[in-house]
Amino acid sequence: MPPRRGRARAPVVVSIGGSILLRDDHDVDYLGKLAELLRSAGRSGPVAVTTGGGRTARQYIRLGRELGLTEVELDELGIEVTRLHARLLAGRIGPPCPARPPVTVAEAVHELHRASPVILGGTEPGHTTDGVAALLAVRLRAARLVNATDVDGVYDRDPRRYPEARRIARMRWPEFRSLVAAGTSAEAGQNFLFDRLGAEMLARAGIPLAIVRGRDLPNLRAAIEGRPFDGSRIEL
């Protein structure tokens, strides 16, 4: 067999928080540029992307909770919204990105063998799209997981309450896991730094997590490509 030139790049997984996708602030411009970034990243190597539900999901979850739906049903409402966002982005990216978001991690892995990028929302009740992204990253033996969110990294205390809070550029997994564990519960629609189970899975597999402000596209691109970026990096 002739020697293969170079090795295929290891997959990269990107988790995009719903809160940065739709915020009534130049959304069309942002979504168009984000789609272009993901299309070009997907051409240079396998890229899998999850999209969150943001405030739209939380609106439905609040309404459902007031109507007495169960936590599982509330999670399912959230999942539908995350899939709506995945469709929106996938539609803008166009072929070969599958227009219909895969509904399981196994299906997403399968799709990634023939197309990149692949965009999906949630899968089943009990976690968030960050959790789906973490599971995908482990399954794909990804080089990294990039969490594109509405904060620019991990702080030593809540930066909204403490102006003197300092961003931590590099953190080890045990420290990050305890931070996540202290700040989350199992309720539908909660909003925190990262999915608890997802953090456990990444830590166990030793996959680095990059946390960046998702609206800062040059910086998001740097994190996806594995170049230095402004934000926080969690690693072994």
Residue number, 116 or 128, with CB nearest to ligand UTP: 128
Residue number, 188 or 222, with CB nearest to ligand UTP: 188
Pairing of strands 209-213, 232-235: antiparallel
- Measured CA to CA, the distance from residue 142 to residue 43 in angstroms comes to 16
Residue number, 22 or 168, with CB nearest to ligand UTP: 22
CA atoms within 13 A on the CB side of 196: 14
Strands (E), the chain: 12-16, 47-51, 118-120, 144-149, 154-155, 167-168, 170-172, 209-213, 232-235
Q: How far is the CB of 216 from ligand UTP (least distance, A)?
A: 16
Task: Name residues whose C-beta falls within 8 Å of residue 36's C-beta, 6 or more positions apart in sequence.
Answer: none
- Site for ligand UTP, rule CB under 6 A: 17-19, 52-54, 57, 75, 78-79, 82, 122-129, 132, 188-191
Q: How far is the CB of 236 from ligand UTP (least distance, A)?
A: 25
Residue number, 11 or 52, with CB nearest to ligand UTP: 52
